[in-house]
Amino acid sequence: MKVALIKDSKVYDNKLLGLTLRERIKKTLERAGFVVEFFNDGLTLREAESYLFILEPVLILERDLRLEGKKALISDNSLFGYLFEGDFRNFFSGDLLSAIERYISMNSIEKQEVWAVKVSEENLKKAEKLLLESLVKSEKTGLKPAYYDGVIARVVNRKISLRISKFLAGKNVTPNQITVFSFLLSLVAAMLYLINNYLATLVAGIIVQIHNILDCSDGEIARLKFMESSYGAWLDGVLDRYADFVIIFSITFSLSQLNQSYWILGFLAAFAALMIAYTGDKFVAAYKTTYKSKGIPITRDVRLFIIFLGSIFNQLAASLILIAVLGNAECLRRIFEIKVLNSETTTSKGWTTERRA
Ligand code: C2G
Ligand code: CA
């Protein structure tokens, strides 16, 4: 058993984006494999294979926290806790600080930098900002998702979705509800494209972009409230494929009123959308690691944005051409790129195996 002993503090009573800081540190450490207890003055130590002491109130932001060995835990050059092995118990006879001092003098303790903020009543706003930032699927945040955000997700969607997530944090909304609601919006957009007039197209385009933004919010809420689930991840991806298809189908249907050959274009665009997702997901399933594409940026966030722009400028045929050409070109490129990667991964250690695919 690994035990985390957290020195309690009033600061932990503060609520940050829907959960108290006490609940946040508890859930974070439980996820890292610890049994979590808070202590005040009288501390008793039961037998354990390792002891984690958190001595200063902190909000841990790191998502894939790995704690092993004997460590001094540092954040921003400032110490907030220790990780010791089971033999620490022999050093402890009631006074924690002197036991720590003796243990450190007898053992070699490495430093481990953890992405965390020491929290006080004064810096809760800053902590909240960092907590929101930690929800983004970027390499910086230490998340190891199937893929990192595309360019539109990074530059446009997350900027807005984080505000939505902040608003929804304290509400009784589950990630799966957002996923389903967002999907329903894509159906509304699809129906509007069928009407085939500019105003309806414009509104449809705006709804598509809202749908694009909400696709970021479901995951953010899941991470923020510790509600990530395998089913949610699966549903998120599967409903995205349905939404892609339904949107492209309805756009193609209305274009085909002008010219039947638009069906060919629509078919190629829908195929590209599905294959971009499939080649990425199949990579993740086969290699069990994050897919970092350095190719043509035509991920879903970008495709939906292209449709949004095409709707505003009433150029939906151009949107489909872009998606069909760039999407299929990118899939072909991936076939060659991944073949080369394959021979590299067997020799280099550059690609780490992911724990939680
Ligand atoms: N997730 C979940 N339950 C949901 C939705 C998402 O648990 N109902 C979690 C899963 O861990 C899933 C991850 O959130 O793997 C997806 O994170 P998002 O931030 O939703 O990102 P994604 O939908 O992959 O991409 O502009 C588009 C963005 O790139 C969104
Ligand atoms: Ca999503």
Summarize pLDDT for 15-34 with one digit per residue, the tens. 999 999 999 999 999 999 99
Q: How many residues does this entry show for the chain?
A: 357
Q: Could you give the percent of the chain with pLDDT greater than 70?
A: 96
41 Cα: distance to centroid of ligand 1 (angstroms): 42
The pLDDT of residue 192 is 98
Regarding the beta carbon of 149 and ligand 1, being less than 6 Å apart is answered: yes
| Closest Cα to atom 18 of ligand 1 | 219
Ligand 1 atom at shortest distance from the alpha carbon of 213? 26
68 Cα: distance to centroid of ligand 1 (angstroms): 29
350 Cα: distance to centroid of ligand 2 (angstroms): 28
HEC profile of 210-253: HHHHHHHHHHHHHHHCCCCCHHHHHHHHHHHHHHHHHHHHHHHH
Q: Is the Cβ–Cβ distance between 153 and 214 less than 8 Å? A: no
45-77 tens-digit pLDDT: 999 999 999 999 999 999 889 999 999 999 999
Q: Is the pLDDT of residue 342 over 70?
A: no
The pLDDT of residue 348 is 45
Q: Is the pLDDT of residue 110 over 80?
A: yes
297-316 tens-digit pLDDT: 999 999 999 999 999 999 99
Question: Dihedral angle at the C-alpha atoms of 125, 131, 52, 144, nearest 10 degrees?
Answer: -170
146 Cα: distance to centroid of ligand 1 (angstroms): 10
CA angle at residue 327 from 322 to 331, to 5 degrees?
Answer: 160
Regarding the beta carbon of 330 and ligand 1, being less than 6 Å apart is answered: no
The pLDDT of residue 345 is 58
- Residue from 133, 186, 217, 218 whose mutation best tests the ligand 1 pocket (most atoms within 8 A of CB): 218
Top-level class of domain 135-349: mainly alpha
Tokens 């409230």 map to which residue? Answer: 225
Closest by CA to 20, choosing from 8, 33, 31, is 8
| Closest Cα to atom 13 of ligand 1 | 219
Regarding the beta carbon of 215 and ligand 1, being less than 6 Å apart is answered: yes
157 Cα: distance to centroid of ligand 2 (angstroms): 11
Q: Could you give the percent of the chain with pLDDT greater than 90?
A: 88
Q: Is the pLDDT of residue 352 over 50?
A: no
Q: Is the pLDDT of residue 351 over 50?
A: no
The residues, ordered by sequence, that sit 6+ positions from 176 with a Cβ below 8 Å of its Cβ are 218, 229, 231, 232, 235
306 Cα: distance to centroid of ligand 1 (angstroms): 21
243-274 tens-digit pLDDT: 999 999 999 999 999 999 999 999 999 999 99
159-172 tens-digit pLDDT: 999 999 999 999 99
128-157 tens-digit pLDDT: 999 999 999 988 777 788 889 999 999 999
The mean pLDDT of the chain is 94
Question: Which ligand is in closest contact with the Cα of 233?
Answer: 1
Where are the domain boundaries for CATH 1.20.120.1760 in the chain? 135-349
User: In which region does residue 288 sit, left (phi positive, over 0), alpha (psi from -120 to 50) or beta (all else)?
Assistant: left
Rounded to whole angstroms, the Cα distance separating 293 from 280 reads 9
| Stretch among 122-126, 285-289, 328-332 having the lowest mean pLDDT | 285-289
269-285 tens-digit pLDDT: 999 999 999 999 999 99
Q: What is the pTM of this model?
A: 0.92
Question: Which ligand is in closest contact with the Cα of 179?
Answer: 1
Rounded to whole angstroms, the Cα distance separating 357 from 352 reads 12
Mean pLDDT, residues 345-354 taken together: 46
What residue ranges in the chain does DSSP mark as E strands? 2-7, 15-16, 19-20, 35-39, 50-54, 58-60, 71-75, 78-85, 110-113, 116-118
Where are the domain boundaries for CATH 3.90.550.30 in the chain? 2-122
CATH of 2-122, one of 3.90.550.30, 3.40.30.10, 3.30.2130.10, 3.40.190.10: 3.90.550.30
Ligand 1 atom at shortest distance from the alpha carbon of 300? 27
